[in-house]
Amino acid sequence: MLECEDRAARYLELTGLDPDSLRSGLGDSAILASALEFLANHEPDLIRAAEALAVTPEELVAAKDALLS
pTM listed for this prediction: 0.80
Which helix H or strand E contains 3, and what residues bound it? Answer: none
- Write the pLDDT tens digit of every residue in 11-67: 999 999 999 999 999 899 999 999 999 999 989 889 988 999 999 999 999 999 999
Taking the alpha carbons at both ends of the chain, their separation in whole angstroms is 23
- For 45, half-sphere exposure in the C-beta direction (CA atoms, 13 angstrom radius) is 18
Domain ranges of the chain: 5-68
